[in-house]
Amino acid sequence: MLTPKARGPLSAALLDALHGTERPSWDDLAPADEDDLQLSLWTLYELSFRGFDDVDPALEWDPHLLDLRRRLERPLEARWRERAADVEVGEPFADGLMQLIEDDDGPSLAAVVQRDATREQVLELLRWRSVYHLKEADPTSFTLPRLPVRAQAALAALQYDEYGGGDPARLHRHLFALGMSDAGLRPDEGAYVDDAPAIVLEQNNALSMFGLHRRLRGASLGHLAAFEATSSLPSRKMASGIRRVGLPDSLAAYYDEHVEADAVHEQLAVRLICGTLVEDEPETRTDVVVGAFTCLDLENRFAEWALERWAA
Please state the domain extents for the chain: 9-82, 89-311
Amino acid code (one letter) for 11: S
Q: In the predicted model, is pLDDT for residue 212 greater than 90?
A: yes
Give per-residue pLDDT as tens, 59-114.
999 999 999 999 999 999 999 999 999 999 999 999 999 999 999 999 999 999 99
* Residues 257/172, Cβ–Cβ less than 8 Å: yes
CA distance 195 to 171: 25
Angle at 228 between CA 226 and CA 230, to 5 degrees: 70
Residue 279's contacts (CB-CB under 8 Å, 6 or more residues apart) are 93, 150
Q: In the predicted model, is pLDDT for residue 262 greater than 70?
A: no
297 falls in which pLDDT band (50, 70, 90)? very high
Q: Establish whether the linkage from the previous residue to 4 is cis, with ω within 30° of 0.
A: no
Give per-residue pLDDT as tens, 24-51.
999 989 999 999 999 999 999 999 999 9
Q: Please tell me the predicted confidence (pLDDT) of residue 96.
A: 97
Q: Helix (H) and strand (E) counts for the chain?
A: 15, 0
Q: Please tell me the predicted confidence (pLDDT) of residue 266.
A: 85
Which 3 state secondary structure label does DSSP give 143?
coil
Q: Please tell me the predicted confidence (pLDDT) of residue 136.
A: 87
Q: Please tell me the predicted confidence (pLDDT) of residue 257.
A: 87
Q: Please tell me the predicted confidence (pLDDT) of residue 276.
A: 98
Give per-residue pLDDT as tens, 140-189.
999 999 999 999 999 999 999 999 999 999 999 999 999 999 999 999 99
**What is the residue-averaged pLDDT of the chain?**
95
Q: Please tell me the predicted confidence (pLDDT) of residue 264.
A: 73
Give per-residue pLDDT as tens, 224-252.
999 999 988 999 999 999 999 999 999 99
Q: Please tell me the predicted confidence (pLDDT) of residue 94.
A: 96
CA distance 214 to 216: 5
Q: Please tell me the predicted confidence (pLDDT) of residue 259.
A: 82
Could you tell me the end-to-end alpha-carbon distance of the chain, in angstroms, rounded to an integer? 32
* Residues 140/209, Cβ–Cβ less than 8 Å: no
CATH code of the region 89-311: 1.20.910.10
Q: Please tell me the predicted confidence (pLDDT) of residue 261.
A: 64
* Residues 192/130, Cβ–Cβ less than 8 Å: yes
> Quick one: what percent of the chain has pLDDT higher than 90?
93
Q: What is the DSSP string of 28-65?
A: G---SSHHHHHHHHHHHHHTTTT--TTS-GGGGG-HHH
Q: In the predicted model, is pLDDT for residue 200 greater than 80?
A: yes
Q: Please tell me the predicted confidence (pLDDT) of residue 232.
A: 86
Q: Please tell me the predicted confidence (pLDDT) of residue 194.
A: 97
> Quick one: what percent of the chain has pLDDT higher than 70?
99
